[in-house]
């Protein structure tokens, strides 16, 4: 539709532009274009534009040299940014702030360090490598390699990726192989 607007500004008729587009395989009717031009933007588009402007004004400022700088509020995530915008007088839902942040490709800073799944031993020694990083087996059932994962949903169980292990229960000394 923007192409047709450009061609109209250069003095071409809508019908002739649509006819050329149809010849090139793009099926656009002049009636469709005119209906699109007459339609008003959706209310959500209008409100999102207001929220995006508010986020830009909150998170970025120009300094004396004209360089765009991130303000301290620019480090906020969706929850703090929503609260900040509400304190400023803009009643906006959290989901709208999140959608607008995604549109701007703006992410807040996380303070969490992440989940620590491997805790090293007190003495600092690592487990030995009996395979010397060689995972090829000369015959079937000679070398078994498994991978353990931590799943929060299975609090007292470990999940084994792979092969021939039927049950692994946390806290047990040995694994039962099938």
Q: What is the pLDDT of residue 115?
A: 75
In the chain (178 residues long), the average pLDDT of successive 10-residue segments reads 87 90 89 89 92 94 91 92 95 95 90 76 77 81 70 50 44 42
The DSSP-derived string for 17-86 is HHHHHHHTT----HHHHHHHHHSPPPHHHHHHHHHHHHHHHHHEEE-TTS-EEE-GGGG--HHHHHHHHH
- The pTM assigned to this predicted structure is 0.52
Strands (E), 80-155: 147-149
Q: Tell me, what's the pLDDT at 158?
A: 47
Instruction: Tell me the C-alpha distance between 60 and 4, whole Å.
Output: 35
Tokens representing residue 164 in the block: 């021939």
With beta carbons less than 8 A apart as the criterion, state whether 170 and 158 touch: yes
For the chain, give every domain's residue range: 2-38, 43-104, 147-177
Q: What is the pLDDT of residue 149?
A: 60
């Amino acid at each position: 539709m923007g192409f047709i607007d450009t061609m109209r500004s250069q003095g071409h008729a809508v019908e002739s532009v649509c006819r050329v587009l149809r010849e090139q395989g793009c099926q656009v009717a002049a009636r469709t274009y005119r209906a699109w031009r007459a339609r008003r933007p959706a209310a959500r588009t209008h409100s999102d534009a207001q929220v995006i402007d508010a986020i830009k004004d909150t998170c970025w400022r120009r300094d004396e040299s004209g360089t765009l700088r991130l303000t301290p509020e620019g480090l906020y995530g969706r929850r703090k940014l929503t609260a900040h915008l509400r304190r400023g007088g803009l009643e906006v839902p959290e989901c709208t702030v999140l959608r607008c942040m995604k549109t701007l490709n703006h992410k807040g800073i996380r303070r969490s360090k992440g989940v620590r799944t491997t805790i090293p031993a007190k003495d600092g020694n690592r487990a030995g490598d009996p395979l010397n990083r060689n995972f090829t087996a000369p015959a079937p059932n000679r070398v078994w390699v498994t991978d353990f994962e931590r799943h929060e949903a299975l609090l007292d169980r470990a999940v084994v990726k792979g092969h021939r292990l039927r049950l692994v229960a946390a806290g047990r000394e040995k694994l039962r192989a099938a």
